[in-house]
Amino acid sequence: MELDAELVGQLKRVLAAAECLLPKPFPSIDWSVCHAANWKRHSFAGFLEQIDSIEGITLEDLLGIDKQKQVIEENTLQFLAGLPANNALLWGTRGTGKSSLVRALLTRYAPQGLRVIQVDKDDLVHLPDIVDRLKGEPYRFIIFSDDVSFEIGESSYKMLKSALDGSVYAPPKNVLIYVTSNRRHLIPEYESDNKGAMMVEGEIHHGEAVEEKISLSGRFGIWVAFHPFSQDQYLEVVRQWVERLAEEQAAVVPWDEACREAAILWSQKKGDRSGRIASQFASNWVGQYLLSQKTKAKA
């Protein structure tokens, strides 16, 4: 019995629409050659997308944050050695090297089996699906979520909290979670939150609002704070960047009062003193200086 032509057309349209909702088939990742991947959401599911080009930043490129580098690097080395290690929260001022530190660790330790999976904050709800694909792999994976901030009750907030706590769902031993945030507790804090605080036998006990907000950050074994530079720290980092960039060009760029004053003015215009601002100024200053020297040489 032949189907009605109109019905056949309708069935074809339904199948075409359904096909759009289904995830496309993607080849499995060869982790022996792939060092990093992004989790990409697609309709009701998602997939790991290989990252072919990774920024070649090194630990030596990150200036002015030696203590922070030491803490995170030691924890990562423990992880790579199969020893107990902690999930980590890197929090603080923008541009101070939080996410760059994770990328620099990958640059150094990828040959030792370190791999990074970058997951957007809203996609942390898919953590169980992501780590299921990593179980049994002979590599060590850092689930990395950058610039995270939540509102209480979000699905991703609940999933991350559960993963860190390990009460219902816990990642396998070859997976750690590193998160960066501008907020220490990853959640906005308000003055009204403190109204529920009370004194009990001379000790301050936070109200429910504060307790809920610190309950997530408290599940990270390691907190590493990144603070704005003082002017002296900022200028020292600028000086190191100027020298490094000049050396890369096989040139000499003087570190003098004009450079110092320009660096201070640059930070004032940007409204910030950080490693990112120092690096940006140094690139601008060294580039302009060397270009002017070439122009003079041609004249």
What pLDDT does residue 24 have? 58
What pLDDT does residue 188 have? 61
* Distance between CA atoms of residues 95 and 79, nearest Å: 26
Over the chain, what is the mean pLDDT? 83
* Distance between CA atoms of residues 189 and 210, nearest Å: 8
Contacts (Cβ under 8 Å, ≥6 apart) of 185? 213, 214, 216, 217
pLDDT at 196 over 60: no
Local confidence band at 189 (pLDDT 50, 70, 90 cut-offs): low
More confident residue, 190 or 88: 88
pLDDT at 207 over 50: no
Provide CATH code, domain 36-226: 3.40.50.300
Local confidence band at 260 (pLDDT 50, 70, 90 cut-offs): very high
Query: Is the CA virtual torsion 154, 158, 164, 165 positive or negative?
Result: positive
- 23-27, 122-126, 129-133: the lowest-pLDDT one: 23-27
Query: Is the CA virtual torsion 228, 71, 143, 154 positive or negative?
Result: negative
* Distance between CA atoms of residues 97 and 193, nearest Å: 30
pLDDT at 211 over 60: no
Longest dimension (CA), the chain: 91
More confident residue, 162 or 105: 105
| Domain locations in the chain as residue ranges | 36-226, 231-298
- 90-94, 139-143, 201-205, 226-230: the lowest-pLDDT one: 201-205
Within 72-205, strands assigned E span 88-92, 114-118, 140-145, 175-181, 198-200, 203-205
